[in-house]
Amino acid sequence: MKTFFKKILSQKIINLLWHYPRAVLAATLNSFPAKKLTVIGIAGTKGKTSTAYILSHILDSASIPNALLSTAALKIRGEENPNLLKMTSPDVFFLNAFLKKVLAKGCTHVIIEVSSHAIDQYRVWGIPFSIVLLTNLTPDHLEYHTSAQEYQSIHTRIVTPHHTTLILNAEDTATRKFRAVPKQKIFFTSDGPVAHALAKKNIPLMDGFQKINIIAAITASLALDISPHAIFEALHTLKTIPGRCEYIEAGQSFKIIIDYAHSPLSLYTFFEALPKPKAGQIITVFGACGERDSSTRAPMGDLLDRYSDIIIITNDDPYSEDPAKIANEVLAGIKQKNISDHTLYTILDRREAIQKAITLARHDTTVCILGKGAEQWQVFAHEKIPWDDRLVVREILKGIYA
């Protein structure tokens, strides 16, 4: 029935006639739990998950009872579980029930990672955000949004009369329209006072990949009146973020990194920040997601070609698309690698692809497994199977080194 209506009605009509009434009902049935919490919304294209996770860790360290709802993890007062929903911002009934549970557990603050889909579909309706942080607004999800302008404009709807502070990336030109919003605004930058203070600290995750996300989280922490001392103490104890440039160590002599990079921008950012092996190779396992903007696939193939020595193209979540078609569209961007010299492989079974990368690795190799991060499912046209790249890697390594 839902699929039928999607075929005959515009997304705007579906949002108004289906998503909006459900949002009102969900918030009402749960007595608008968000109104009794300090809610921080983290929105934007890239860096949302990392920024939200870092901010929650800082609040934990500062003994502020908080909850986190993000792509990678759900956490309440330090009790963390993987996000099994395969959604950044969940269904309105789950979200409001979660917020009600958060209240019952004694939390005062909650950090919500907010997707553009969630804003458009009223999933965060009824939530008075105290702080809204925009990481950046690079055009994304153009298979859903009609244009880059619409994608950016939708984010203005998260800025409601209730919130008190708007935190913006000063280096992102797409967020300039938000500077006219009559709210208290705080700006962060990769070369501002926070960055200069960080440069004097030995922060475990302080590299090119996470630097701007750490700065964003610090800026939000300061807006919440957390002391600089407490913030830096917290950052010293944060070793990793699930599925975000996460190193897997299980006795192997080479590096394995798992990351969520799944767009041209995120692939470029990942590879630019990746420490280059002095003499070894970079082996990359990657698959593009189905039912997404297909115009990005060849450019992603080109980036893999430029930064990797060996490429293994595989499945991500093909959904209803033909996996071979998706792979071929990524392969179209790869010009310098080929099957004959063993620098290019197409192995659609993701486990087999990861195993191949590991068997090809030598002591000075860096194996990059990209696209899914900490996701807990792999979705095909007619089935959805439990999946975790990190668990698969450890299982393969255990079989080799046991």
pLDDT for 8: 66
Quickly list H helices, 62-210: 92-104, 116-120, 148-154, 193-199
- pLDDT, tens digit, for every residue of 95-151? 999 999 999 999 999 999 999 999 999 999 999 999 999 999 876 666 777 787 888
User: Can you state the angle between helices 92-104 and 20-29, rounded to 10 degrees?
Assistant: 20
CA distance 46 to 171: 14
CB atoms within 10 A of CB 297: 22
Q: Are strands 73-76 and 129-134 parallel, antiparallel or unpaired?
A: unpaired
Domains of the chain: 2-236 (3.40.1190.10), 246-401 (3.90.190.20)
Q: 80 has which bridge partners?
A: 75
Task: Tell me what pLDDT residue 169 has.
Answer: 95
Q: What span, in angstroms and rounded, lies between the C-alpha atoms of 48 and 214? A: 11
- The whole-number mean pLDDT for each consecutive block of 10 residues of the chain, a chain of 402 residues, reads 64 93 97 97 94 98 98 96 92 97 98 95 94 87 76 85 86 83 89 90 82 96 96 94 95 95 94 86 97 96 98 98 98 97 98 98 96 97 97 95 71
Q: DSSP string of 35-64?
A: GGSEEEEEESSSSHHHHHHHHHHHHHHTT-
Among the residues of 106-192, which ranges form H helices?
116-120, 148-154
Burial degree of 293 (CB within 10 A; 0-12, 13-18, 19+):
middle
SS3 content of the chain, % helix, strand, coil (to 5): 40, 20, 40
Residue 217: per-residue pLDDT: 98
Per DSSP bridges, beta strands 38-43 and 109-113 are parallel
- Helix (H, G, I), strand (E, B), or coil: what is residue 9? coil
Confirm whether pTM is higher than 0.85: yes
User: Chain-centre distance of CA 58, in angstroms?
Assistant: 19
- Using DSSP's 3-state secondary structure scheme, residue 8 falls into helix
pLDDT at 57: 98
**CA of 380: how far to CAs of 4, 97, 162, 171, 367, in Å?**
20, 29, 41, 38, 25
Position 51 scores a pLDDT of 98
Closest to 100 in 3D by CA, of 56, 52, 34, 39? 34
